[in-house]
Chain A
Amino acid sequence: MSEKLNTAGHEPEKTDERRTEISKFSLLFNRLGIYVVVILLILLGMAVSKGQFFTAGNVQSILEAVALIGMVSAGLIFVVYAGNMNDMSIPMTMALGGMMTVQCINFGFPVALLVGIATGTVIGLINGFMIGKLRANPIIWTWGFNLLLSGIARVTWGGKQLYADSIAKDTDFAQKSASAFYSIARTYIGSFISLMAIVMIVMFAISWFIHSRTAFGQKLKIIGTSYDVARFSGIDCTKTLVLAYTICSVCASIGGIFFAALRKTASYENGTGYDFSCLTAVLLGGVLLSGGKGSVVGAFGGVLAYGILNNILSWVGLDTYSKYLVQGIVFLFIVWLNTYSNRKLGKA
């Protein structure tokens, strides 16, 4: 015992510097690397579009394409950050948000909007209860719940698509609220900044505030890193997870409402594919799939990169099928990169 004391006890311990360096690099890449990608993509876009990239029309189409994914991603980040990987019920949350809004259009647009958001809130609370309180597997539960919601939507409306102007009664008030509903996706401030893009940016700003400035965000960080550590630190994991899922579903329903307004139809198919495209954007922004690491600023960059990439694919003249192929490859690449930096951070 005394021998150990002499050799190890009094000199300052050495830390593994190399490992720290690797961690720092990974962190930096996780945090800001995405904006390097965004700039590279913009340069590539300028090249393939032959100078048409920064025209009002193109910027507008990028922003519109990005806006919907952005709105949903601004909420999804909380679920990923909490270590629950993905919310598979996003498609039906979006669809139902839009459908409920359209269905209630006769009560006036503000009421209809609130009903749509309330739908999302309820879905989020149920998800949060099942996963936060009963510890259901987050993927399997949300996946199954998505199927259930899809069934409910199809049975309720008999598989029909909903059009705000035909559902609205023939009164001045109802018709006005229907056109107000359509106009939210078509309002521009200045010449080419759409309202949708502004809503998305505001949602990201709120999301950033919640994530980095509140007690909730700090608790989510610990929960996302390790649920057990959070539990053994006296953190109210259930409440925190319920809140995370509720924020996510509210954002998805807002996205769904804008989606329905943009398409002029609300249908159970509206949100299809958004679960994975939003996850791609969030992961692209450096949020770790296993939770506890990542920033909203990064996720915003991820959304931009995803939008610009899609835009470039259009300029190159890729058809829809090939786009799926490219998106799939990008997704897999991002998951690989994510796992890789996870390992470097000593977490995988």
Chain B
Amino acid sequence: MAETANSTYALDMRAVSKRFPGTLAVNQVDFRVKKGEVHALMGENGAGKSTLMKVLAGLYGDYTGEIFIDGVKRELHSPEMAKEFGIGMVYQELSLARRISICENLLVGRLPKKNALFIDKKKAIAEAKELLARVGLDGLDPTIDVSEISQCDAQLVEIAKVLGSKPKILVMDEPTSALSSEEVQRLFAIIRNLKKQGLAIVYISHHLAEIFEIADTVTVMRDGRLVDTALVSDVTTESLVEKMVGKPINSFYAEHTGEISGEEVLRVEDYTRWGFFHHVSFALHRGEVLAICGLAGAGRTEIARSLVSVDRIDRGKLFVHGRETHFRDFGEAIRGGLGYLSEDRKVVGLALPQTVEDNVLSCVIDKYSRGILFSARDEEPLVQEKIDEMRVYPADPMRQINSFSGGNQQKILMAKWLAADVEILILDEPTRGVDVGAKQTIHEAIRRFAAQGRSVILLSSDLPEVVGLCDRAVILREGHVIGEIPKAGITENSLLIAANGEGEYVTCRKS
């Protein structure tokens, strides 16, 4: 379907590439979207979808390749230019300013004016109503604040706002992540309506079921390349997952060989924090790497934060080594043998302007103090040992964190938790956004850690990582545990399908 005249495509991207220092995030991608079609863009995290869409939004001026919009070649060097050429972006995070009225939000930057000083309020409200009607929000009063309407309505207002700039191409990045299933149906009705009006829609989502429902065409990306473009009617869940995952990865993620004894080190029962996760129960054994899998927003991080007492729980019990335990704060959890490597390295993981030494020792200040005295210098052998183990380069304990590369920072974060010397380590996305070398080092460290008879809970969106490292996977969906997959059953396909809630691949083994 390649050799067609330009103008049948609303969007025609040819050999588009975007290079970041170290990686080619988008590699020679040809991406075409017809008028009046919903085109799904799929791929695992880091496959390059978002980067490609950011190029389209004009956020990366230094891309290479050609972009044609409605058959006319355009250079997209700034968000303003992209908007002018008819690209509308609906972002995952709602970008509405919340405390001002819907009307002002919709018409931000182009409020109709009576004269030099005053805004034509009547006209503004009329225009706002017109825009709202396009997304099925006829009844909504445009003068109320955005903070007073529901999440779903806010998402629709966001779409209305983008429609206000009269786009020819509408890009939606995970628009349903905050919506309930009924609200999703409302959104789909609106998308179908927009499609009829001739808009080209690019739809990014991890939910396979949604793709089959709403999209006409699907494009799969992997490792920055475009793998395939096909009609949705020609693909199946399995073939799509296979394309997203690719093949040769299993060989890279070596098998985990640690011995798992039956000894239970941690058990949670009926763990509930209303609104985040409900009635969660699972157990962790000595020497085991347990994955908690689920889509974004399934409640993984929230469970981890509650386990180490950063957040409160509403009900439920936590048993550590068979004894019911309640930690008052995170410090007590660490002393009780529970560590949590957080998801966001830069905000809550590492103190960037301080040295490696200060960071690696930050969990163990009390442990290594003599009375009130503490000297970071005295503990340097420990720091050196841990950063050597993590192969941090350069291995200088006195160097500031922000002079290291991202991969090395992540290794230092891992070193910090190795230094904490805990029995149970919860790792939240331990390899997000790092290069392959650092990833390998971190995986080896996780395996060594488990081989020492300690245990790991791994929360990761990186499916090959889960397959390569984990002995068992607990599947989480919208805050509920829906089943477990034993080692033998863990494949990328089974995980993806299970997390999407299509139960036939899940071997439930309730313990």
Contacts and interface: CB of A to CB of B under 8 A. Distances in A.
Contact of B375 (A9, A13, A213, A222): A213
A255 B19 CA distance: 59
Given A218-B361, A234-B333, A20 B400 contact: yes
A50 interface: no
Interface string B323-358: 000000111111100001010000111111110001
Contact of B248 (A2, A4, A15): A2
Contacts of A214: 369, 372-374
A346 B435 CA distance: 23
Given A1-B246, A222-B351, A229 B405 contact: no
Interface string B53-88: 000000000000000000000000000000000000
Contact of B435 (A4, A232, A292): A4
Nearest to A209: B373
A96 B436 CA distance: 62
B437 A346 contact: no
Given A20-B399, A20-B403, A234-B331, A229 B362 contact: yes
Given A1-B249, A231-B330, A15 B358 contact: no
Nearest to A222: B362
B365 interface: yes
A340 to B, nearest CB: 14
Interface in A234-285: 234-236
Interface in A218-233: 218-219, 221-222, 225-226, 228-233
B408 interface: yes
Interface size class of A (residues with CB under 8 A): 35 or more
Nearest to A345: B353
Interface in A1-49: 1-5, 8-10, 12-16, 19-20, 23
B366 interface: yes
B399 A231 contact: no
B378 to A, nearest CB: 11
Contacts of B403: 15-16, 19-20, 23
B223 interface: yes
B348 A232 contact: yes
A221 B354 contact: yes
Contacts of B252: 1-2, 5
Counting chain A CB atoms within 10 Å of each CB, the highest count among B330, B347, B351, B407 belongs to B351
Nearest to A214: B372
Contacts of A217: 374
Interface in A181-228: 213-219, 221-222, 225-226, 228
A234 B330 CA distance: 5
A233 B333 CA distance: 10
Contact of B374 (A3, A218, A225, A226): A218
Interface string B283-297: 000000000000000
Interface string B421-455: 00000000000000111001000000000000000
B330 A8 contact: no
6 contacts: A4-B436, A15-B405, A215-B372, A234-B331, A236-B329, A347-B352
* Closest 7 A/B residue pairs (Cβ): A215-B374, A215-B369, A234-B331, A225-B351, A9-B437, A233-B362, A234-B334
Interface of A: 1-5, 8-10, 12-16, 19-20, 23, 213-219, 221-222, 225-226, 228-236, 292-293, 345-347
Interface of B: 22-23, 223, 246, 248-249, 252, 310, 329-335, 340, 342, 347-354, 358, 361-363, 365-366, 369, 372-376, 393-394, 399-400, 402-405, 407-408, 416, 435-437, 440
